[in-house]
Amino acid sequence: MRRQHKQRADLTFKHNKNNGRHGWLRLTPAYSIKIVHQILQDLSADLSVLDPFSGTATTTLCAVERGHKALSVEINPFLVWFGKAKVRQYCLHALESAKRIGQTIERTVQARQVEPAPTPPIANVERWWDADHLDYLRLTRAAIEAQSDKETPVRDLLDIAFCRSVIGLSNAAFNHQSVSFKDTGRRKPSSQLSLWDCQEPDGDGRFARDLDFILETARKNPPHSGRVVFGDSRNIAGFVEDQYDILITSPPYPNRMSYIRELRPYMYWLRYLTEARQAGELDWEAIGGTWGIATSRLSDWRPDGRSLLPSYLEDLLDSVVTGGPKSGQLLANYIHKYFEDMWHHFQSITRALRSGAEVHYIVGNSKFYDVLIPVERIYVDMLGAAGFKHAKAQTIRKRNSKKELFEFDVSAIYE
């Protein structure tokens, strides 16, 4: 039956890019707004919606656009900032101020009337940006900081536009599940114009065009303002006081695809990261993180003995250990820790749900060596053990990777 499911781009992040604020920044692990709207379309109005894995705040923005109240929880401080900016209601004065300051910034950059900001300390920075693009971004960053105040709606709009320029001028390629790089070994022919020669006649450059897009899509305010808060989804009860009617979320998949990898360029430029170790530390705090120090710590990780995991998971972990090279035990630890973390989440989330609340987890299965990890089945069984009823997994689509990999909506009712 699963073979009939197709690789539907409309059910991925690709569907978001031309849908207003949802298209502000690209993040491959983000899921389609279409999935959220399909879940919400047949439900009554004025619901309270919870997303414990906010990411780019897709769920919360979709919910408030439909007139619901919504809260997202996120452990990455950059995504908390971005989510807040994405769901905010902007007044006309803020939009006009951002436009005016943006024009000043572009003139300042073109006249080179500002000292360039420091090059971000990202490893192999020349792989990310050509020299002229890097120069342009450093000047633009400096001009933004000189022309606008921190922690204001105007600054947020400018910073989001800058983030679009950061990735738009980069050598990043998006022909894989996560970011990769174009072949930068083949240099541009000498007849090709540089960035500085390719400005529009009125002086607007890449940043100005990106800012125009942000400001145009920011004009349509949602009827409600959603909330995005910093927190750990394994301990929802520690900071979420209200109870919610429905949970819609897409947690990290257990596939070693680190969110921090795609977020690093934004986080370095905006100084959420200042050294490589910080990225690994942050990924270790996240569920499913394996970047840098997070991977080395997995070698010493041991189960806490307090998780009710399906008994068949042990056999799968043993198969991963014996079925691969030396890294088999490391990967088994990774998988084990992922489901232990999700168990603590499932236990904690019950205190934030009203009786009869629906939950929807959009998640994909995984494969390590020749061992298929039935994530959807494990979710169903763990939800049942955590007190949920009527847990089931519905196949949404075929994923663009190995033939056995699919995406599911794992749903249940909390009673």
pLDDT of 194 reads 41
pLDDT of 42 reads 79
DSSP state of 24: S
Identify which has the larger pLDDT, 409 or 184.
Answer: 409
pLDDT in tens, 10-53: 555 665 567 789 999 977 666 888 889 999 997 877 899 999 99
Report how far residue 182's alpha carbon sits from residue 263's, in angstroms, rounded to the nearest whole number.
Answer: 18
- Parallel/antiparallel/unpaired status of strands 371-373 and 366-368: antiparallel
117 C-beta neighbours (distance < 10 Å), count: 18
Domain boundary among 218, 242, 257: 218
Regarding whether 244 and 169 lie in a shared domain, the answer is: no
**CB neighbour list of residue 257: distance below 8 Å, 6 or more residues apart:** 29, 177, 178, 288
Instruction: Give the pLDDT band of residue 224 (cuts 50, 70, 90).
Output: confident
Regarding whether 285 and 144 lie in a shared domain, the answer is: no
- 57, 87 Cβ separation under 8 angstroms: yes
Regarding whether 232 and 108 lie in a shared domain, the answer is: no
pLDDT of 173 reads 73
pLDDT of 202 reads 36
Look up residue 269 and give its two tokens. Answer: 């430029």
Report how far residue 240's alpha carbon sits from residue 226's, in angstroms, rounded to the nearest whole number.
Answer: 14
Regarding whether 64 and 121 lie in a shared domain, the answer is: no
Which residues on neighbouring strands pair with residue 48, listed in sequence order? 69
Burial of 273 (0-12, 13-18, 19+ CB in 10 A): buried
Angle, CA of 55, 298 and 380, to the nearest 5° = 55
Instruction: Give the pLDDT band of residue 239 (cuts 50, 70, 90).
Output: confident
pLDDT of 16 reads 57
DSSP state of 145: H
Look up residue 18 and give its two tokens. Answer: 């031309």
Q: Give the H or E element holding residue 391.
A: strand 388-398
Query: Is 364 a domain residue?
Result: yes
pLDDT in tens, 260-282: 888 999 999 999 999 999 999 99
Regarding whether 262 and 183 lie in a shared domain, the answer is: no
pLDDT higher than 80, residue 316? yes
Nearest by Cα to 270 from 148, 104, 156: 156
Query: Is 204 a domain residue?
Result: yes
The domain total for the chain is: 2
Instruction: Give the pLDDT band of residue 403 (cuts 50, 70, 90).
Output: confident
pLDDT of 45 reads 74
Query: Is 124 a domain residue?
Result: yes
Regarding whether 306 and 401 lie in a shared domain, the answer is: yes
Which residues on neighbouring strands pair with residue 366, listed in sequence order? 373
pLDDT of 3 reads 45
Regarding whether 146 and 291 lie in a shared domain, the answer is: no
How much is the average pLDDT of 235-252?
A: 91
Look up residue 53 and give its two tokens. Answer: 């894995």
Identify which has the larger pLDDT, 30 or 116.
Answer: 116
By percentage, how much of the chain surpasses pLDDT 70? Answer: 87
Regarding whether 297 and 258 lie in a shared domain, the answer is: yes
Regarding whether 232 and 212 lie in a shared domain, the answer is: no
- 367, 402 Cβ separation under 8 angstroms: yes
pLDDT of 13 reads 62
The average confidence (pLDDT) of the chain is 88
pLDDT of 34 reads 87
70 C-beta neighbours (distance < 10 Å), count: 29
Query: Is 206 a domain residue?
Result: yes
C-alpha dist (Å) from residue 340 to 310, 313, 334, 346: 11, 11, 10, 10
Q: Residue for token digits 């020669």?
A: 197
Buried b (16+ CB within 10 A) or exposed e, 300-336: eeeeeeebebbeebeebbebbbeebeeebebbbbbbb
How much is the average pLDDT of 63-84?
A: 95
Regarding whether 343 and 206 lie in a shared domain, the answer is: no
Three-state secondary-structure class, residue 118: coil
pLDDT of 175 reads 53
pLDDT of 177 reads 53
220 C-beta neighbours (distance < 10 Å), count: 10
Regarding whether 409 and 315 lie in a shared domain, the answer is: yes
- 18, 58 Cβ separation under 8 angstroms: no
Three-state secondary-structure class, residue 218: helix
Identify which has the larger pLDDT, 1 or 163.
Answer: 163
Phi, psi for residue 141 in degrees, rounded to 5:
-60, -45
Query: Is 307 a domain residue?
Result: yes
Query: Is 223 a domain residue?
Result: no
Regarding whether 237 and 148 lie in a shared domain, the answer is: no
* pTM of the complete model beyond 0.85: yes
Burial of 415 (0-12, 13-18, 19+ CB in 10 A): exposed
Report how far residue 42's alpha carbon sits from residue 60's, in angstroms, rounded to the nearest whole number.
Answer: 17
pLDDT of 189 reads 38
Q: Give the H or E element holding residue 247.
A: strand 244-249
**CB neighbour list of residue 163: distance below 8 Å, 6 or more residues apart:** 25, 266, 269, 270
Angle, CA of 64, 413 and 287, to the nearest 5° = 70
Print the domain residue range for 358. 2-86+228-268+276-414
The CATH number for 64's domain is 3.40.50.150
Angle, CA of 266, 267 and 270, to the nearest 5° = 85
Phi, psi for residue 344 in degrees, rounded to 5:
-65, -35
Q: Residue for token digits 């079925």?
A: 323
C-alpha dist (Å) from residue 310 to 270, 349, 390: 42, 19, 17
